[in-house]
Chains A and B, each alone.
Chain A
């Protein structure tokens, strides 16, 4: 992996993002305002948390389709633990996050121990965890949380949405972890060539399990934030979230074959998608039109990565 190619994809994407922001600002006077941008940050936090760890997963050459279901399961469990088991809300949320993290661990365990391809394993748990969420909730929503809980999803700290602070902290931590530690380098090595990594004495299975567990944790944390933002729990929460996250990761230049990618790229990808959705909507374009544009951008991003790879080879 050469640093130069990495920088090039991200630099181009960053330029695209800047051009896009300027263009959208001209399209609609309401777009480039502090209130709107902060609000967009609030709306993209859940996908953002999941996408950051999804970057790790995809760099190892894997994929995690179960994140949306883990989000739904965590949301339901937060409500059930709190209302039906009578736990304090803080403990209920903590316990639910623990279960969500364990779900991620199960993904990693099944993938590494039984050698199931990640696509199949997490496709199975996508159904399994969603089924659990629906079975446990029995279609009943849990509502009426205490006011302090809404600070997390609806409140501000120092004028910035609470969850955006969490996303920022998470992003910094993940960037450092991936770019500047042994674990990060192991992740790249596994994605680039798993067999070589194994024979170089890297803890391949342990690293992969850790990555999927972290993915479960991120989805679970996003679940609790989501509950706080919409003030209710439903078992269908987070449906389709995995696709939004993967879109951001791939748009951000992470190779779906593994071995290449970065957290900063994913973050730029996220910003591009979110500002496109928001800006086009403000400019009066309907949701269908936006979906088409995002699809085209994604194809463009993949063509760009492929072109770079050819030149390098």
Chain B
């Protein structure tokens, strides 16, 4: 009895891992993909009508000082410290914004919803957010709009009609193209590679991986996608996962892509310590500071990321402009302070620009 009980439990646990897995699980989501042209020709963007929401009966805020709360996915990590820094920078420059950042220390949907709910009750004028889940956050954001609050997202979007504008750091297919093109340049068009991501549930990473998979199939069909592993945005786990990949595939693996600002430097460290510099390439998304040592000693040629400070800065600018009525449905571009004119795509997304590529030549000019 005892034994059969344990066996059943074990079988149940194991079957969960295998029976539902697709043949090659890439960590992608189910949404449709739209890979860019291989040669980088810009896609003809069909104009989309404004699809964001509108705050109901918003009071006249033009020229008045507004109270804004910035709610990132979580607080206490470098990425969101720098977006928060951007928000403060814009608030200071505008002079008429009282902005603060508040968030849970865990990327938890329930905590985030409760927090926003409380700020709606306390009567803020504007909410900036980076969503832990696009659907779960929508009801509370709609409630904010209904209460006449201006709502602008950045980094990770909600459903379009639950917010006014979304500052998109980079289009998913743009990120996918940058990563795969960079990888192909380093390992050749027939190399094999593996991916270290955060978790399969993280919407941004899942979206990028879906686009990468589509773009690679279209433009580099000879490349081999070995495996995608999860590393939870955890430093030690990322290092271990990268190390396991190196040992497991040996010379069969030519490259590792890091999908988070934690995974990429950890993978670079694993490659360096295994003495595989030059044999295994590391490309990926990363903030420049932790990548400096690896880029400078030549083990890593480049890292990719948008400026997270600019991301927060643009979001704050967009919020002020929509509260003033200077940014309104139908606009094609948006003038975001020191960033200049930004393009508006997909109805209500403000595009921050192409991701920056950090190399040996320019990495010292960035500091975040």
Contact = CB atoms under 8 A, between A and B. Distances in A.
A282 B16 contact: no
Interface string B252-288: 0000000000000000000000000000000000000
Interface string B115-137: 10111011100000000010110
A287 interface: yes
Interface in B11-31: 12-13, 16-17, 20-22, 25, 27, 29-30
A281 B122 contact: yes
Most chain A Cβ neighbours within 10 Å, of B111, B136, B138? B136
Nearest to A230: B136
A139 B200 contact: yes
A284 B115 CA distance: 11
A303 interface: no
Contacts of B122: 28, 30, 281-282, 284
Given A30-B123, A237-B109, A287-B105, A231 B25 contact: no
B233 interface: no
B13 A136 contact: no
Given A139-B201, A240-B108, A281-B118, A231 B123 contact: no
Contacts of B138: 231
B8 to A, nearest CB: 10
B80 to A, nearest CB: 13
Given A135-B20, A140-B30, A287 B13 contact: no
Interface size class, chain B = 35 or more
A110 B27 CA distance: 34
A235 B20 CA distance: 14
Contact of B109 (A230, A282, A286): A230
Given A131-B16, A135-B20, A235-B201, A281 B133 contact: no
Given A43-B114, A287-B103, A287-B104, A128 B200 contact: no
Contacts of A139: 27, 29, 199-201, 206
A31 B123 CA distance: 11
A21 interface: no
Nearest to B67: A284
Contacts of A110: 5
B16 A132 contact: yes
B325 interface: no
Given A114-B2, A139-B200, A230-B135, A278 B118 contact: yes
Given A43-B117, A287-B103, A231 B29 contact: no
A138 B200 contact: yes
Contacts of A237: 109-110
Interface string B298-334: 0000000000000000000000000000000000000
B225 to A, nearest CB: 17
Given A132-B12, A138-B20, A287 B135 contact: no
Interface of A: 28, 30-31, 35-36, 39, 43, 106, 109-110, 113-114, 128, 131-132, 134-141, 143, 154, 226, 229-232, 234-237, 239-240, 277-278, 281-282, 284, 286-288
Given A132-B12, A234-B109, A287-B102, 18 more contacts: A131-B17, A132-B13, A134-B16, A135-B20, A138-B200, A154-B139, A230-B113, A230-B136, A234-B133, A235-B201, A236-B108, A236-B201, A278-B121, A281-B115, A281-B119, A282-B118, A287-B111, A288-B105
Interface of B: 2, 5, 9, 12-13, 16-17, 20-22, 25, 27, 29-30, 75, 100, 102-106, 108-111, 113-115, 117-119, 121-123, 133, 135-136, 138-139, 199-201, 206
List of 7 A-B pairs having minimum Cβ-Cβ separation, nearest first? A135-B16, A139-B200, A232-B135, A230-B136, A281-B118, A282-B122, A139-B201
